[in-house]
Amino acid sequence: MSTTTGTANEDRVELSKADSKAVRQRSVRLLRTLLRPVRRRFIITVVLVVLSQAAKVSGPLLIAYGIDSALPAVRSGGNLLPLLVTGGGYLLAAVASSWLTATYLTATARLSQAMLLDLRIQVFRHTQRLSLEFHETYTSGRIISRQTSDLEALRELLDSGIADLASGIIFMVLTAVSIFSLDWITGLLVLAAAVPMYFLSRWYQRRSQAAYRSSRVVSARLIVHFIETMTGIRAVKAYRREKDNAATYDELAEDYRRVTVRSINLNGIFQPGLVLIGNVAVAVVLLVGGFRVLDHGLAVGALLALLLATKRFFQPISQMAMFYNSFQSAQAALEKVSGLLEEVPTVLPPRTPVPLPRAQGHIRFAGVEFGYGSGPAVLPRLDLDIPAGQTVAVVGATGAGKSTLAKLIARFYDVTAGSLTLDGVELRQLSIADLRRAVVMVTQEAFLFSGTVAENIALGNPAASRAEIEAAAREVGADGFIRALPDGYDTDVNKRGGRVSAGQRQLISFARAFLANPAVLILDEATSSLDIPSERMVQDGLHQLLGGGSGPGGAPGRTALIIAHRLSTVAIADRVLVVHDGRIVEDGSPAELISGGGRFAALHGAWRDSLV
Amino acid sequence: MADAHTSKDNSTLFTSLGRLAPQLKPIIWPLIWGLLSALAASVVALVVPQVYRVLVNTALQPGNGTKGLWTGAAVVLGLGILEAGLIALRRQFVIVPATTVETRMRTSFYRHLQSLAVEFHDRWGSGQLLSRAMSDLNFMRRWMAFGAIMLVVTTLTVVIGVSLMFSMSWQLGLIFLAAAVPIAIFGFRFRLSYGRVSRKSQDQAGDLATAVEESVHGIRVLKAFGRGPEALDSFAGQAQELQATEIHKAKSLAVFSLVVTLLPELALGSGLVDGILLVSAGKLDVGALVAFFATAAVVAGPVESMGPLMAMTLTAKTAIDRHFEVMDAVNTVTDPASPVALDSARGELEFRGVHFRYPDTPAATRDVLDGINLTLRAGETMALVGVTGCGKSTLLSLVPRLFDVTAGTLMLDGVDVRQLTLSALRTHVAVAFEDTTLFSNSVRDNVLLGAAEQPGLSPEDVLEQALEVAQASFAYTLPQGVDTLIGEEGLSLSGGQRQRIALARAIAARPAVLVLDDPLSALDVNTEERVTERLRSVLESTTTLIVAHRPSTVSLADRVALLQDGRITAVGTHSELLAANSHYRYVLASLTEEPRDLDSHLETGLGEELAEELGAGKEAGA
Ligand SMILES: Nc1ncnc2c1ncn2[C@@H]1O[C@H](COP(=O)(O)OP(=O)(O)OP(=O)(O)O)[C@@H](O)[C@H]1O
Ligand SMILES: Nc1ncnc2c1ncn2[C@@H]1O[C@H](COP(=O)(O)OP(=O)(O)OP(=O)(O)O)[C@@H](O)[C@H]1O
Ligand SMILES: [Mg+2]
Ligand SMILES: [Mg+2]
């Protein structure tokens, strides 16, 4: 088993032979899958390149023809036809070659952009599909670096590589054929140059692979640091991290510079090395050919032609070196991207989903166990039945496992053991669409996207009209402050909702959930940053939303799971669960529990005392 | 968003490139040497055919010995080695200096960003900034090390080639040169249009990076609402726009290349006809005609590469513009010219007629903070109470100067905070934000982020104390104890755990003034009570301004200030305000509205309208 599956160990630069081969293959495979849908366009592009090369070659031929045939014809009696043919042909060739060049430039851009778009979307889709567990450790900076600087490397390859490679190969093959047809000994000499070139390329491949790999790793580090600083800039400033950060960044940037120089320098040996081999070959051809000329084995003219052809043969070599260089760089980048794409989401949609078009909201935990990753069990064993339409309050100390419980219902994570069902169907068996329609969770972190207030609320239901959006905002009591914003519902909330206050962010998140109107609503500390009057308003709205009758088709209203430290919320609950160390230690109606004198009663008492 | 950085696209190519000059100054010699090497390599390549000519005419004539051949081959070999060496030399000369300049610009970019005010960062997406720090600077380096040099070499080659052609036949030379006029005109148009698209594509690429960043940071919300497909659609739309721009860009370059290669070729075509006619008329000899076209063939390559090199230069201009756009952004929160030293602060904090408005607030609306007068005595704990969105966090952010007051003064120990250096001020002030901004480090690194050196205490002790006060000792029970990595933004902790780590971080800084923005909101009642208790004893000598939404937090405070409509409308103890102020009761006393939970003694305060204490605490001003 390889140790480099997915993104594991992606920061390692020195890989064992087997691992190195595995990641390279993975990366080439990705390149191939990207090429497959555009292979026709690829072929057309290559053909265009070849044709434009052919048109280019015809120019000098026409000049030769003009001087050898048209000139004598004009001189000897004014026959202008060959001259017209020459001139017209030249113009035609010029038009054809430049038009073909322009066309293949555009075609290359289309091709490369199509592949990039494809890969961008694939990576985006895949990162969205990956589970939270993955994101918690991988960090957004890395994903951004995969999506930006790694793709940039691929883009370089695609933009110039195809034309370089295709025209280079065509050119070399044609020249080689003409050399062989002139003189096979020279042909063999030229071919012999391939041997040192092969070894030089092998050397370059091995060294540059490591260099580009470390360049990807270091640039990812640089990006991660950059993104984290910019995201947490307030804390950076408040805690005077600027100097230390700058020192870290200097170091990372210097590392990055060093690996960049290393890869450029390798190329700086490789490319002149190839030129050198070519030049040596020319000298050898001259020497060998010269002896044969002296021995009358070869005509002087033929030797001259062979020398020129040999020189020409090696001309595209530096282009090819450039191609190989970008190929190495792109391959290192694709190693990382393909690793990310290889990550398997731990929370997978089912192969054959059980349809649940209209959920009632009956939730059942049976023998559920759960722990994050390989960590300790957070929920050691849980049995719980929440009938449809019930409003359940979940209380307990911080870190007890309340959010975990909620996140399981929203299927952010899959249970480690036991079964968790909605209306009798295992959550794992529901299609993602059905599940998200049925279960919506307002998370503890109220995250707003940059965009308008209306867009942010509409996230709850993209099909909602403006009137519905406003109605949802009114119900949670957010309408007032939204209208007071400079552009009302069309105000841009800035990145992460920085334009509005923390409480206002929570209200907007709340409005989202109202708009989504699911069968099961989970509220995780959704009112923690609100003042008491706003909280009260939200609760009124919530009460209406959850209350019977308003449910779809006369259903018994909505199931709600409300996590709150402020026990005021508990007032509207039918049932209270007290969670302690991942276990449900008390379960009953609020009144029962208060009179029962257990933990909840104590908690409630403490809360009451805290109020005044 | 995109409109934050719409360009004032009126800088010309040369002014933009000129801005690089100070950066290039220290490395100008290596660049020149690199240029000379490149030129020399081209010259060497041109010399080799001359050697052939000599060889053919002398050594290879029948009857000569092998010595001449050996020499000739040795010369060709030597020139070949020289050419390869010169190519290698060009890289050797420029690569290290160019990457050094790139790195210097990158690090100063980062430093500048760190120093820019929060207000700047609120407007700019991190992806957009990142694209400027990475791809723009990469591109600029490449242009410097390759594009600029090659542009000079190419231009020189073309100029020399064309003058050679003139020397062979001025008639043909003129025809060839005639092609240059439309190229120049077209080149001018190309410069404008290509400059515009390249700017657009780089901006769009930056916005795309921002979109990626948001989609990852907001992944919980996207998952919770199942909006992954919609996010993908909108991302795909954005990516398609970028794709369209890129293709447009390529097309524009292709058309330019077409013109640049076609026109000279057309000129050559008619030159060929004309030349043959000239020769046949005896006005030109065949040798010159051949030489003319041979030279034209040499010039063709460089002419063809003019298009891509111009495009590269224009893109480099865009990159430089984008870089300097950020570098030119002025820092609105700066150190004073002659700072006042305040070695140890007592922690007396006074807001005197403080006004604040956010930069994008419409003119008609009143300031968020509309004349704040408030004094915190040294060591006092003051709670700040007000409805959602009334400006509490804004007020707090003025203390460490994340924003600057727009009018009035904020004083620490009688010194205007704007007269202290930022680092001094921020040493005296520590903040716990309402959304806990943690970093993806270990618990230890997060808590000790701004920790002060304390005599006789090791960092370990400081950590332990801070965690103990914030009731965050759970950290020791995490899988790797305090060295456990807590995930991006601390998201592998529970909400309350996160908040306590952030609180511990503020406490570990041992500041004179502690600013806590609703620091207990995610804690359960029992934990909150314990934290409150510990805080109260620890905060004895620390001036604390704490935002509170709950009576339980208020109870931590010696006095409470009520923020209403941008002013402090009342200051007093909790019970005083509860008794005297109806707005305070409205904000804080939930029970008055809920008859079944009503606490009877609250009733006594109702209806009584006592005079509100405004700006209380002035007497401590000295
Ligand atoms: N993503 C995660 N990875 C690893 N451990 C986690 C993760 N999220 C939570 N935990 C751990 O699981 C336990 C339960 O966390 P959970 O978020 O469920 O608590 P909670 O009851 O919601 O607390 P709070 O009231 O503070 O929000 C905590 O010890 C926490 O450290
Ligand atoms: N960056 C900003 N640009 C413009 N307006 C802003 C910005 N940040 C906040 N505001 C506005 O200023 C007002 C005060 O915001 P602030 O965050 O200070 O409120 P708050 O009292 O802390 O509220 P909460 O209790 O919800 O945290 C709000 O109405 C908000 O919409
Ligand atoms: Mg929680
Ligand atoms: Mg606030």
Where residue B279 falls among pLDDT bands split at 50, 70, 90? confident
A579: pLDDT strictly greater than 50:
yes
pLDDT at A569: 77
- How distant, in Å, are the alpha carbons of B179, B406, B585 from that of B577? 87, 29, 8
Binding pocket residue ranges, ligand 2, CB within 6 Å: A 498-504, 529; B 122, 358, 360, 368, 386, 388-394, 434
Size of interface A-B (CB pairs under 8 A): 522
A579/chain B closest Cα distance in angstroms: 12
Q: Is the CB of B494 under 6 A from ligand 1?
A: yes
Angle A455-A461-A465 (CA atoms, 0-180°, nearest 5)? 70
Predicted TM-score (pTM) of this structure? 0.90
Where residue A439 falls among pLDDT bands split at 50, 70, 90? very high
Asked whether residue A355 is domain-assigned, the answer is no
B122: pLDDT strictly greater than 80:
yes
B329 touches chain A (CB under 8 A): no
pLDDT at A115: 93
β-pairing verdict for A575-580 and A583-588: antiparallel
Predicted confidence (pLDDT) per residue in B482-498, tens digit:
998 888 888 888 999 99
Helical ranges in B509-581 per DSSP H: 525-538, 551-554, 574-580
Percentage of chain B exceeding pLDDT 70: 93
Contact across the interface for A290 and B518, Cβ inside 8 Å: no
Q: A216: which 2 tokens?
A: 């990807």
Give the number of the atom of ligand 2 that is nearest the alpha carbon of residue B386: 21
Cβ atoms of B404 and B488 closer than 8 Å? no
Nearest Cα residue to atom 30 of ligand 2: A500
* One domain for residues A331 and A388: no
A99 touches chain B (CB under 8 A): yes
Question: What is the pLDDT averaged over residues B88-106?
Answer: 92
Q: Is the CB of B499 under 6 A from ligand 1?
A: no
Q: Which of residues 552-611 of B touch A (CB under 8 A)?
A: 552, 555, 578, 586-591, 593-594, 597, 599, 601-602
Contact across the interface for A127 and B70, Cβ inside 8 Å: no
Contact across the interface for B220 and A132, Cβ inside 8 Å: yes
pLDDT at B10: 61
Q: Is A398 exposed, middle or buried (0-12, 13-18, 19+ CB in 10 A)?
A: buried
Cα A206 to ligand 3 centre (Å)? 50
B286 touches chain A (CB under 8 A): yes
Q: CATH second-level architecture of B349-358+367-615?
A: 3-Layer(aba) Sandwich (3.40)
Q: B605: which 2 tokens?
A: 């305060």
Question: What is the pLDDT averaged over residues A192-202?
Answer: 91
A277/chain B closest Cα distance in angstroms: 9
Predicted confidence (pLDDT) per residue in A11-21, tens digit:
787 778 888 88
Nearest Cα residue to atom 1 of ligand 2: A499
Q: How far is CA A243 from the centre of its chain?
A: 31
B343/chain A closest Cα distance in angstroms: 17
DSSP conformational letter for B431: E
Cβ atoms of A431 and A385 closer than 8 Å? no
Phi, psi angles (nearest 5°) of residue B545: -115, 120
A456: pLDDT strictly greater than 90:
yes
Nearest Cα residue to atom 17 of ligand 2: A501
Q: Given this structure, which CATH class describes domain B26-327?
A: mainly alpha
Residue A199 amino acid letter: F
Per-residue burial over B306-333, b = 16 or more CB atoms within 10 Å of its CB, e = otherwise: bbbbbbbbbbbbbbbbbbbebeebeeeb
Nearest Cα residue to atom 3 of ligand 2: A499
**Closest ligand by atom to A397 CA:** 1
Q: How far is CA B416 from the centre of its chain?
A: 30
H/E stretch holding A382 reads: strand A377-386
pLDDT at A18: 84
Q: How far is CA A447 from the centre of its chain?
A: 21
Count up the domains in chain A and report the number: 2
B445 touches chain A (CB under 8 A): no
For chain B, the residue count is 622
pLDDT at A577: 92
Q: Is A376 exposed, middle or buried (0-12, 13-18, 19+ CB in 10 A)?
A: exposed
Chain A residues with CB under 8 Å of B204 CB are none
Q: Is B383 exposed, middle or buried (0-12, 13-18, 19+ CB in 10 A)?
A: buried
Helical ranges in B343-438 per DSSP H: 392-398, 422-428
Q: How far apart are CA B597 and CA B543, in angstroms?
A: 35
Of A121, A449, A495, the CB nearest to B122: A495
Contact across the interface for A437 and B114, Cβ inside 8 Å: no
Cα A552 to ligand 1 centre (Å)? 34
A492, β-bridge pairs: A452
Nearest Cα residue to atom 25 of ligand 2: B388
Predicted confidence (pLDDT) per residue in A327-379, tens digit:
999 999 999 999 999 999 888 888 999 998 888 889 999 999 999 888 888 99
Instruction: Share the mean pLDDT of chain B.
Output: 84
Q: Which residue has the higher pLDDT, B500 or A10?
A: B500
Q: Which residue has the higher pLDDT, B350 or A527?
A: B350
Lowest mean pLDDT across A298-302, A518-522, B459-463? A298-302
Q: How far apart are CA B352 and CA B375, in angstroms?
A: 8
B429, β-bridge pairs: B513
pLDDT at A183: 85
3-state SS, residue A556: coil
Lowest mean pLDDT across A62-71, A127-136, A437-446? A62-71
Contact across the interface for A86 and B273, Cβ inside 8 Å: yes
Going by C-alpha positions, the residue among A291, A285, A287 that lies closest to residue A305 is: A285
Q: How far apart are the first and last CA of chain A?
A: 63
Cβ atoms of B568 and B374 closer than 8 Å? yes
Q: Domain containing A540: what range?
A: 363-575+593-611
* One domain for residues A212 and A326: yes
Asked whether residue A3 is domain-assigned, the answer is no
B192: pLDDT strictly greater than 90:
no
Asked whether residue A11 is domain-assigned, the answer is no
Asked whether residue A446 is domain-assigned, the answer is yes
Residue A560 amino acid letter: A
Cβ atoms of A435 and A363 closer than 8 Å? no
B616: pLDDT strictly greater than 70:
no
Contact across the interface for B268 and A121, Cβ inside 8 Å: no
Where residue B55 falls among pLDDT bands split at 50, 70, 90? confident
Where residue B4 falls among pLDDT bands split at 50, 70, 90? very low
Q: Which of residues 148-207 of B touch A (CB under 8 A)?
A: 205
CA atoms within 13 A on the CB side of A422: 30
Cβ atoms of B106 and A251 closer than 8 Å? no
3-state SS, residue A565: coil
Q: Which residue has the higher pLDDT, A320 or A465?
A: A465
What is the spatial order of strands in the sheet that B369-376 belongs to?
Answer: B369-376, B349-356, B407-412, B415-416
Predicted confidence (pLDDT) per residue in B380-414, tens digit:
999 999 999 899 999 999 999 999 999 999 999 98
Cβ atoms of B296 and B267 closer than 8 Å? no
A73: pLDDT strictly greater than 60:
yes
Contact across the interface for B226 and A433, Cβ inside 8 Å: yes
B181: pLDDT strictly greater than 80:
yes
Q: Is the CB of B497 under 6 A from ligand 1?
A: yes
Cα B224 to ligand 3 centre (Å)? 15
Q: How far apart are CA A268 and CA A277, in angstroms?
A: 14
Q: How far apart are CA A192 and CA A95, in angstroms?
A: 38
Cβ atoms of A103 and B251 closer than 8 Å? no
* One domain for residues A599 and A463: yes
Which of A504, A510, A534 to mutate for ligand 2's pocket (most ligand atoms within 8 Å of CB)? A504
* One domain for residues A378 and A334: no
Chain A residues with CB under 8 Å of B525 CB are 565, 567, 603, 606-607, 610
Lowest mean pLDDT across B243-257, B297-311, B563-577? B297-311
Q: How far apart are CA A580 and CA A382, in angstroms?
A: 12
A549: pLDDT strictly greater than 50:
no
Asked whether residue A356 is domain-assigned, the answer is no
A447 touches chain B (CB under 8 A): yes
CA atoms within 13 A on the CB side of A533: 13
B477 touches chain A (CB under 8 A): no
Predicted confidence (pLDDT) per residue in A478-515, tens digit:
999 999 888 899 999 988 888 899 999 999 998 998 89
Q: Which of A342, A374, A398 is the last residue of a domain?
A: A342
Asked whether residue A21 is domain-assigned, the answer is no
H/E stretch holding B102 reads: helix B67-115
Lowest mean pLDDT across A51-55, A231-235, A555-559? A555-559
Angle B255-B257-B260 (CA atoms, 0-180°, nearest 5)? 110
β-pairing verdict for B559-564 and B567-572: antiparallel
Q: In a mutagenesis test of the B interface, which of A48, A52, A61, A63 is the best target, namely the one with the most B β-carbons within 10 Å?
A: A63
Chain B residues with CB under 8 Å of A460 CB are 225
A18/chain B closest Cα distance in angstroms: 31
CA atoms within 13 A on the CB side of A146: 28
Instruction: Share the mean pLDDT of chain A.
Output: 87
- Which are the contacts of A19, defined by CB distance < 8 A and separation ≥ 6? A2, A3, A4
Where residue B3 falls among pLDDT bands split at 50, 70, 90? very low
What is the spatial order of strands in the sheet that B429-432 belongs to?
Answer: B429-432, B513-517, B543-547, B381-385, B559-564, B567-572
B28: pLDDT strictly greater than 60:
yes
For chain A, the residue count is 612
Going by C-alpha positions, the residue among B411, B436, B419, B387 that lies closest to residue B547 is: B387
Lowest mean pLDDT across A75-79, B544-548, B567-571? A75-79
B474 touches chain A (CB under 8 A): yes
Question: What is the pLDDT averaged over residues A200-212?
Answer: 90
Cα B16 to ligand 1 centre (Å)? 52
- What's the ipTM? 0.90
Q: Which of residues 226-265 of A touch B (CB under 8 A)?
A: 226-242, 245-246, 249-250, 253-254, 256-257, 260-261, 264-265
B596: pLDDT strictly greater than 80:
no
* One domain for residues A314 and A399: no
Asked whether residue A353 is domain-assigned, the answer is no
Contact across the interface for B509 and A565, Cβ inside 8 Å: no
* One domain for residues A218 and A111: yes
pLDDT at B308: 87
- CATH assignment at residue A166: 1.20.1560.10
A184 touches chain B (CB under 8 A): no
Predicted confidence (pLDDT) per residue in A107-156, tens digit:
999 999 999 999 999 999 999 999 888 888 888 889 999 998 899 899 98
Q: How far apart are CA B523 and CA B544, in angstroms?
A: 19
Cβ atoms of A379 and A43 closer than 8 Å? no
- Which are the contacts of B300, defined by CB distance < 8 A and separation ≥ 6? B261, B264, B265
* One domain for residues A409 and A375: yes
- CATH assignment at residue A413: 3.40.50.300
Question: Structural domain boundaries of chain B?
Answer: 26-327, 349-358+367-615
